[in-house]
């Protein structure tokens, strides 16, 4: 094997050397709000002269700030980073898309993913014409694990500019060890950005790596208000990275990515009182996760439940089709994972309220036919419930 693959870490390489060469000097669209002009008669953006009838407070007539300063400061404080290290986007999905467009030359560069994994990384790459290098998760006695050596080697050999890791991992629920991630980031320093998707980190025992972004210039962390903060419909997510990467990504971003109503909702959702309730919900959710995990392990129809650090469980069934059908018959919808590599017998089940989880568990135990892997007697209570 080629020994020059792993250069000595220097900690100082400019991560923008990894960006698309044709975009490094790209100036981007100069929106009406991005110029630092002072005035009180604004006639520069063809905005309406009067507010809409429904807009009583005249809050929506003008284009918004590209990065609402108050929200950016509040999110930076929430995550413990500087405002220059943080970019607000329309969910972390936009962050994924911006990274692919900014760092992969179409028909030339690639991303690396570790399937089975969240699908948006590959979707972003395919839409952009970037390659997708796959290094499969390895199943072991203790659950799924990453093959770090192969990830580093494949990324370098196959010109991956972005290596996507997800921790806790979707759909397995596995949390990835911090030391391994930092070591990989150092190995990739002159080759790729390591993008760590922490969409579920609030549910996990493993601390976030946002604090490591300052010391590792090719480390990028994605955070979102969609999961633990229960704000999926507001579409607010963040890229946390080296200030040079953030400035570059903001030049690649649409002019006004954060609608004012969404920014206001996000501000309210991360106020101290809202955060306190969110923390209570997270604790409650984790308790439910352990309860559901234990209940499912006791079911004869269940083959394997993976220990999860997120708000869902990945479960293998002896007969996944039958389990899926029993759930659907009770109007309980879960995520069918059977098309994913290595998961031909698995479903991913989000943790809901205690009542929802009970309904899910009861439906799994209900008998559709005279199968031998039933758990208990049928529970017809919910059989006819529809949405």
Site residues, ligand PLP (CB under 6 A)? 91-93, 118, 166, 170, 197, 199, 224, 226-227, 232, 237
Nearest Cα residue to 235 out of 207, 262, 208: 262
Residue found under tokens 């083959």: 303
Distance of closest approach, residue 224 Cβ to ligand PLP, in angstroms: 3
Distance of closest approach, residue 64 Cβ to ligand PLP, in angstroms: 19
Distance of closest approach, residue 271 Cβ to ligand PLP, in angstroms: 20
Cα R_g (the chain), whole angstroms: 23
* 235 versus 326: smaller Cβ distance to ligand PLP: 235
Distance of closest approach, residue 279 Cβ to ligand PLP, in angstroms: 20
Distance of closest approach, residue 20 Cβ to ligand PLP, in angstroms: 23
CA distance 357 to 288: 8
* 163 versus 166: smaller Cβ distance to ligand PLP: 166
Distance of closest approach, residue 230 Cβ to ligand PLP, in angstroms: 11
* 226 versus 278: smaller Cβ distance to ligand PLP: 226
Nearest Cα residue to 181 out of 162, 166, 171: 166
Nearest Cα residue to 199 out of 242, 231, 152: 231
Residue found under tokens 């284009």: 63
* 103 versus 312: smaller Cβ distance to ligand PLP: 312
Q: How many other β-carbons are positioned within 10 Å of the β-carbon of residue 67?
A: 21
Distance of closest approach, residue 90 Cβ to ligand PLP, in angstroms: 7
* 93 versus 374: smaller Cβ distance to ligand PLP: 93
* 135 versus 199: smaller Cβ distance to ligand PLP: 199
CA distances for 95 relative to 104, 137, 235, 300, angstroms: 14, 24, 11, 42
CA distance 289 to 307: 10
Which residue is closest to ligand PLP by CB? 91
Distance of closest approach, residue 329 Cβ to ligand PLP, in angstroms: 27
CA distance 293 to 69: 42
Long-range contacts of 307-310, Cβ-Cβ distance < 8 Å, separation of 24 or more: 307/143, 307/173, 307/174, 308/168, 308/172, 308/173, 308/174, 309/168, 309/173, 309/174, 309/175, 309/200, 309/203, 309/204, 309/205, 309/206, 310/168, 310/169, 310/170, 310/173, 310/200, 310/203, 310/204
* 224 versus 250: smaller Cβ distance to ligand PLP: 224
* 208 versus 224: smaller Cβ distance to ligand PLP: 224
């Amino acid at each position: 094997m080629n020994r020059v693959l792993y250069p000595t870490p220097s900690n100082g390489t400019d991560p923008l050397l990894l960006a698309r060469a044709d975009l490094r000097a790209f100036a981007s669209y100069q929106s009406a709000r991005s110029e630092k002009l002072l005035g009180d008669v604004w006639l520069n953006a063809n905005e309406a002269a009067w507010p809409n009838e429904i807009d009583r407070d005249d809050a929506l007539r003008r284009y918004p700030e590209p990065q609402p300063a108050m929200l950016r400061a509040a999110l930076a404080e929430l995550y413990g980073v500087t405002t220059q290290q943080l970019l607000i986007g329309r969910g972390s999905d936009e962050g994924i898309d911006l990274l692919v467009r900014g760092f992969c030359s179409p028909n030339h560069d690639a991303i690396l993913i570790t399937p089975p994994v969240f699908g948006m990384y590959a979707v972003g790459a395919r839409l952009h014409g970037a390659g997708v290098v796959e290094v499969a998760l390895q199943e072991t006695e203790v659950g799924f694990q990453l093959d770090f050596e192969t990830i580093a080697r494949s990324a370098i050999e196959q010109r991956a500019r972005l290596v996507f890791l997800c921790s806790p991992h979707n759909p397995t629920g596995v949390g990835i060890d911090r030391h391994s991630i930092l070591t990989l980031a150092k190995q990739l320093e002159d080759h790729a950005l390591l993008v760590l998707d922490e969409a579920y980190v609030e549910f996990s025992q493993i601390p976030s790596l946002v604090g490591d972004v300052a010391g590792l210039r090719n480390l990028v962390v994605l955070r979102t208000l969609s999961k633990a903060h229960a704000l999926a419909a507001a579409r607010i997510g963040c890229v946390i990275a080296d200030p040079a990467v953030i400035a570059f990504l903001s030049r690649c971003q649409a002019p006004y990515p954060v609608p004012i109503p969404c920014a206001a909702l996000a501000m309210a959702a991360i106020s101290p009182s809202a955060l306190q309730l969110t923390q209570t919900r997270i604790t409650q959710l984790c308790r439910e996760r352990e309860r559901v995990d234990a209940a499912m392990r006791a079911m004869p129809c269940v083959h394997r439940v993976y220990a999860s650090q997120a708000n869902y469980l990945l479960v293998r069934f002896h007969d996944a089709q039958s389990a899926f059908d029993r759930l659907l018959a009770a109007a309980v919808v879960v995520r069918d994972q059977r098309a994913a590599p290595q998961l031909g017998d698995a479903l991913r089940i989000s943790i809901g309220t205690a009542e929802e989880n009970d309904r899910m568990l009861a439906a799994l135990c209900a008998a559709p036919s005279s199968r031998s892997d039933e758990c208990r007697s049928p529970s017809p209570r919910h059989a006819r419930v529809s949405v």
